[in-house]
A = this chain, B = another copy of it.
Amino acid sequence: MSSIQFDPTTHPHRRHNPLTGEYVLVSPHRTKRPWQGQTEAPQASNLPQYDPKCYLCPGNERAGGAKNEPYTSTFVFENDYAAVLPPPGPGAPPAPHPLLTTEPVIGGCDVIIFHPRHDLTLARLSIPDIEKVIAQWCAVYDRRGHQEGIEYVQIFENKGSMMGCSNPHPHGQSWSLSAVPSLPSTELTNLKKYSLAQAQTSSAPTGPKGRPCLLCEYAHFEVGVPHEQGRVVFKNEHWVALVPWWAIWPFEIMLLPYKRHVPSLLSLMPEEKHSFAEALSNITKRYDNLFKCSFAYSMGIHQRPVPRRADLPPLAELEDEDNVAHLHLHFAPPLLRSATVRKFLVGFELMAEPQRDLTPEQAAQRLRGCPDVHYLDTLEAESKPVAHWCQTE
């Protein structure tokens, strides 16, 4: 036994991610080293409300030749360069070697525009406007998830040029496939294992058949930790946003309902949707306020792979194995210490294991310390000139 007392803000350590079974290496002592890496150019400033060259603005022509409707709220269309194609598809070819297997995939990819205004983001939308985005997520999940041959619907948003997304017009995507992709498949496997292996000891909500749910249990624990010491960034009546114990990205957030087991978007009650919109608004504002820029991130919604088939009897719901899924959103932002310094997942992290310097508790504290009024609104209220879209510190 070592006589040194463990201090999570000083001693290198690994944390286990029970959703993926993988680890993250935490090197908290490094937060003081000088920065020698790349800085990103700040993004273009002062975006127009309408951009005639934007293929997502209302009424504009897209690259494929189709024209957007003159929409006034949200707008959904099929991606002109979809990663997967609708049926019919080919059958699986014979494997040239048992190690070399091929699985044909069919499906469809949708673009979900959040708002007609080119210059807004979730952080700048009103709560009712965010509720419309949530309604579209529900509708796409419902529609695609009931299509013949679709086994999984992945809704996500990729925001910011440093995430490879060149168009600032607020939008997300949905890819629907005939197979459950690697990461959600691993998460579902681990949720199922937890559900079967663990005996419930806490007063957390439970999943199907009264069995424990890994995420109900985890969220329940986190909201009970005194906030000054914990990882919670924001909490309201139904949702909690936290920097997970096992976070990889500097300011990674998991957003999930904590009051009851919620398998998918379609299980949300109206007041839970309202609470969801409020939480999305709150955390995206904190993100923008952190470095006074339009914060880049990838966001993904994980839930049960597809909705329950409509022809199943309602009583089967409690027995449905796919209900072990617990709805949650991952936010993976690359920014590290300013609007222009990003984290790269390369080298050791790509070849061995993700690594972080700032602890999740330190990141949560930074985010809790950010105002939940958007910095641009503060500036406007003070009648200062409108700030840049993205500024260096």
Contacts and interface: CB of A to CB of B under 8 A. Distances in A.
Copy count, this protein chain? 2
Interface of A: 1-2, 4-8, 11-16, 18, 22-23, 25, 27, 29-30, 33-34, 36-38, 63, 81, 83-85, 88-93, 96-97, 99-107, 152, 154, 156-158, 161-167, 173, 175, 177, 179, 181-184, 214, 217-218, 221, 225, 245, 298-300, 302, 330, 332, 342-348, 350-355
A94 to B, nearest CB: 9
Contacts of A13: 102-105
A14 B105 contact: yes
A152 B354 CA distance: 15
A181 B23 contact: yes
A220 to B, nearest CB: 10
A29 B181 CA distance: 20
B164 A6 contact: no
Contact of A38 (B89, B104, B161): B161
Contacts of A181: 23, 25, 348, 352-353
A175 to B, nearest CB: 5
Contacts of A344: 163-164
A109 to B, nearest CB: 9
B89 A350 contact: no
A118 to B, nearest CB: 15
Contacts of A100: 15, 221, 245
Contacts of A152: 352
A84 B12 contact: yes
Nearest to A215: B99
A23 B225 CA distance: 37
Contacts of A102: 6, 8, 13-15
B4 A91 contact: yes
Contacts of A166: 36-38
Contacts of A30: 81, 83
B29 A85 contact: yes
B298 A346 contact: yes
Given A6-B104, A173-B348, A346-B163, A214 B15 contact: no
Contact of A175 (B37, B214, B348): B348
Contacts of A179: 14, 23
A244 to B, nearest CB: 10
B165 A2 contact: no
A54 B179 CA distance: 49
Contacts of A182: 22-23, 352-354
A104 B12 contact: yes
22 contacts: A2-B91, A6-B90, A6-B102, A11-B104, A12-B84, A13-B102, A16-B101, A22-B182, A23-B179, A25-B181, A27-B84, A83-B348, A99-B217, A99-B221, A154-B352, A163-B347, A165-B346, A181-B352, A183-B351, A298-B347, A298-B350, A300-B347
A57 to B, nearest CB: 15
Residue with the highest number of chain B CB atoms closer than 10 Å, among A88, A107, A300: A300
A189 B280 CA distance: 39
Contact of A346 (B96, B99, B164): B164
Given A23-B181, A36-B167, A158-B347, 11 more contacts: A11-B90, A12-B89, A13-B105, A15-B101, A37-B166, A38-B164, A163-B347, A164-B346, A175-B352, A300-B348, A332-B351
